[in-house]
Amino acid sequence: MVFELLRDCLTPKDPASSFDLFFYLYTHIAQGRLTAPTAYLLGASCLLALEKSSGGVRSAAIGEVLYRLVARPLGFQFRETLANHFSPLQFGLAMHGGCKIIIHGLHPTLDLHLDWVVLQVDIQNAFNTISWEALFRELLAAIGFLDQLFPFVCSLNCDYSTHPMLNVFWLMILILLDPLRLPWQLFML
């Protein structure tokens, strides 16, 4: 079934060699030129339930390998520009030390104010109340080159029948910022 869906995006006059066929398919994926069923298949993930050492279950999604083969080089191509764009605003990705910088900065402040409490809650993300499509469109407006990625991201993250663009828009931006930090998500080959 996978082969038939991928074959659907190719034309009858495509190159015959394995390498040429792979390169042609890779180019189709990168440019977002896929049939709806093929894009839907490539945008899917295998969901795993991993047992936590402290009990409970951690969910993990592993993306399709062809999607990962295309996303990784695209991510490296735009990584530095995206990191520079976000660097004054975020500490989670593409920054050495990341959130530890914030934590170490808070400790002296909290030592001076013993009655203060710091609470971090990711309610918006946990309950999917953020419009990921709006976020991605804002990035398109703010970062001119990002429109080069739009066909690729849209082709793999749009349900062509009933759903709007999915949360994978934000995941794609995270991947672009630091693809190696998400090995379980998309880039574990």
Angle between helical axes of 150-157 and 18-30 (0-180°, round to 10): 90
Euclidean distance between CA atoms 72 and 103, whole angstroms: 30
How many Cβ atoms are within 10 Å of 77's Cβ, its own excluded? 13
Q: Which sign, positive or negative, has the C-alpha torsion 51, 170, 124, 64?
A: negative
Say which residue the tokens 């934000």 belong to.
170
Please tell me the predicted confidence (pLDDT) of residue 83.
72
Please tell me the predicted confidence (pLDDT) of residue 34.
78
| Average pLDDT value for the chain | 66
How many Cβ atoms are within 10 Å of 131's Cβ, its own excluded? 14
Q: Give CB contacts under 8 A, 24+ apart, made by 78-81.
A: 78/145, 78/146, 78/149, 78/176, 79/176, 79/177, 79/178, 79/179, 81/143, 81/145
> Which pair of structure tokens corresponds to residue 169?
């828009």
21 vs 14 pLDDT, higher one: 21
Tens digits of residue pLDDT in 75-85? 777 777 777 77
Please tell me the predicted confidence (pLDDT) of residue 17.
64
Please tell me the predicted confidence (pLDDT) of residue 32.
79
167 vs 88 pLDDT, higher one: 88
Lowest mean pLDDT among 7-11, 104-108, 178-182: 178-182
Mean per-residue pLDDT for 118-140?
62
- Spatial CB neighbours of 3, under 8 Å, sequence gap ≥ 6: none
The answer to whether 85 and 143 are in contact (CB under 8 A) is yes
pTM of the prediction?
Answer: 0.51
Mean per-residue pLDDT for 103-131?
73
Q: Is the pLDDT of residue 109 over 80?
A: yes
In the 8-state DSSP scheme, what is residue 146? Answer: G
Tens digits of residue pLDDT in 134-176? 666 666 777 766 666 667 766 655 543 333 333 444 445 544 5
